[in-house]
Amino acid sequence: TQVEKGGYKHFMAKEIAEQPAVLGDALQHYLTDDGLNLPSDLDFSNISRLTLVACGTAFYACSVAKYWFESLARLPVEIDVASEFRYREPPLPTDSYAIFVSQSGETADTLAALRYCHEKVAKTVAVVNVPSSSIARESDIALPILAGVEVGVASTKAFTCQLLVLASLALKAARDRGHMTEAELKQHMEELRILPGLLTRALDLDETLNIVSNDLSEARDVLFLGRGAMYPLALEGALKLKEISYIHAEGYASGELKHGPIALIDSHTPVIVFAPHDPLFDKTVSNMQEVMARGGKVLLVSDRKGLEIASEGVWQTVQMPEVPDLFAPILYAVPAQLIAYHTAVAKGTDVDQPRNLAKSVTVE
Ligand code: G6P
């Protein structure tokens, strides 16, 4: 089927805007009135460990999910990029599951990692956008992310849909393992169901982020900071920015700032901080203040409460809707994507087909 830009200047812009709709589709599939719609033979009760493997943006989706599996389901998670995993001969417990996340389902390294796991683990699970793909076919269980065709090389809607499927898996794991009551599950399902509406509101920040991005497009280096599950989101924000705007960007765990990257701070280096007002907020803010004390210019992405507390001295603020702590990374993906998009447009790069990159990397 021919996919069109439908009035948008780029596929990436269209795919960012589609997120409330496709997330809604995925929610409808995985969350029903009776509970989670996941295969019953995917039973986490007696599983000792989970291995998550992917490349690129899909790897950052896994990195967020690690926080969910560990905190909700008390399930130890090992995680690696496929190109490392496949060669380091990792020992895998037979009572473990291995999950492979891939938009295309054809990434060579991820496929090789999956083949390595066959016969070694209790089950292999694919989280893919293309149900007919090699990774889907060769896995014991394939879960579609239902994002629809993604054309832009930089992955956007696939990322949020991958997160939704992984969140559903984490909730199932928590239930299976006796770490979540039925009532808690229902509550978390409600939290997931409000996400499309929240994403729509985040998309309304498009013009604000466009203006900020004009300034960002002048930068040589940009730093992204986050804590907890916002840390992998900082990594994803940096990846998006470098992929399509060619500006050097790094994502860092806020608390790790003082162990190196703080040396880079000067008045020319924008620092983008993802910090919803959650239990880790104060810690992140104190790292942010260390940046400002050294003349760094901070773009703080937070919610009303967070901005009330911490806006002073900040270069730019972006006010996000309030969101349940657990699923904030799904919402904060939107400003991360829009910042990269508008910065790239301001720089005049080829947003949908960035130089040297391919949508699907089917060779090693
Ligand atoms: C390429 C794409 C990225 C994508 C990565 C993994 O590098 O440019 O956007 O995240 O491959 O692709 P996959 O299809 O396995 O998710």
User: For residue range 259-274, what is the model confidence (pLDDT) as tens digits?
Assistant: 988 888 999 999 999 9
pLDDT of 122 over the 90 cut? yes
> Any idea which of 52-61, 305-314, 348-357 has the lowest mean pLDDT?
348-357
Q: What residues does 127 pair with on adjacent strands? A: 101, 143
What's the complex ipTM? 0.97
| Gap from CA of 179 to ligand 1 centroid (Å) | 33
Spatial separation of the C-alpha atoms in residues 155 and 159, rounded to whole Å: 6
Q: What angle do CA 120, 129, 132 make, to 5 degrees?
A: 70
Asked about 359 being catalytic, the answer comes back as: yes
> Any idea which of 142-151, 281-290, 320-329, 352-361 has the lowest mean pLDDT?
352-361
Question: Helix or strand or coil: residue 126?
Answer: strand
pLDDT band at residue 355 under the 50/70/90 scheme: confident
123, 283, 347, 359: the active-site residue: 359
In short, whether 104's Cβ falls inside 6 Å of ligand 1 is yes
pLDDT of 127 over the 80 cut? yes
In short, whether 102's Cβ falls inside 6 Å of ligand 1 is yes
| Gap from CA of 258 to ligand 1 centroid (Å) | 31
| Gap from CA of 165 to ligand 1 centroid (Å) | 17
Q: Can you give the pLDDT at residue 360?
A: 85
Question: Which residue is listed with tokens 């947003």?
Answer: 351
The residue-averaged pLDDT of 216-229 equals: 96
Question: Among residues 44, 100, 102, which one has the least CA distance to residue 73?
Answer: 44
Q: Which of 107, 157, 239 to mutate to test the pocket of ligand 1 (most atoms within 8 A of CB)?
A: 107
Q: pLDDT per residue over 46-78, tens digit each?
A: 999 999 999 999 999 999 999 999 999 999 999
Q: Can you give the pLDDT at residue 337?
A: 98
* Residues of the chain above pLDDT 70, percent: 99
Chain mean pLDDT for the chain: 96
Residue 268 Rama label (left phi>0; alpha psi -120 to 50; beta): alpha
In short, whether 129's Cβ falls inside 6 Å of ligand 1 is no
Q: Which atom of ligand 1 is nearest to the CA of 357?
A: 8
Question: Helix or strand or coil: residue 182?
Answer: helix
In short, whether 152's Cβ falls inside 6 Å of ligand 1 is no
Q: Which atom of ligand 1 is nearest to the CA of 57?
A: 10
Sign (positive/negative) of CA torsion 253, 258, 261, 262? positive
Which two three-digit tokens encode residue 205? 């920040």
Q: Which atom of ligand 1 is nearest to the CA of 135?
A: 15
Q: Which of 16, 62, 360 to mutate to test the pocket of ligand 1 (most atoms within 8 A of CB)?
A: 360
pLDDT band at residue 356 under the 50/70/90 scheme: confident
Spatial separation of the C-alpha atoms in residues 137 and 131, rounded to whole Å: 8
In short, whether 154's Cβ falls inside 6 Å of ligand 1 is yes
Q: Using CB atoms within 10 Å of the CB of residue 132, give its burial: 0 to 12 exposed, 13 to 18 middle, 19+ buried.
A: exposed
In short, whether 287's Cβ falls inside 6 Å of ligand 1 is no
pLDDT of 1 over the 60 cut? no
Spatial separation of the C-alpha atoms in residues 260 and 228, rounded to whole Å: 19
Query: The pTM is what?
Result: 0.97
Q: Can you give the pLDDT at residue 166?
A: 98
Q: Can you give the pLDDT at residue 300?
A: 98
pLDDT band at residue 290 under the 50/70/90 scheme: very high
Spatial separation of the C-alpha atoms in residues 89 and 237, rounded to whole Å: 30
The residue-averaged pLDDT of 138-157 equals: 96
| Gap from CA of 359 to ligand 1 centroid (Å) | 6
Which two three-digit tokens encode residue 56? 């690129």
In short, whether 58's Cβ falls inside 6 Å of ligand 1 is yes
pLDDT band at residue 358 under the 50/70/90 scheme: confident
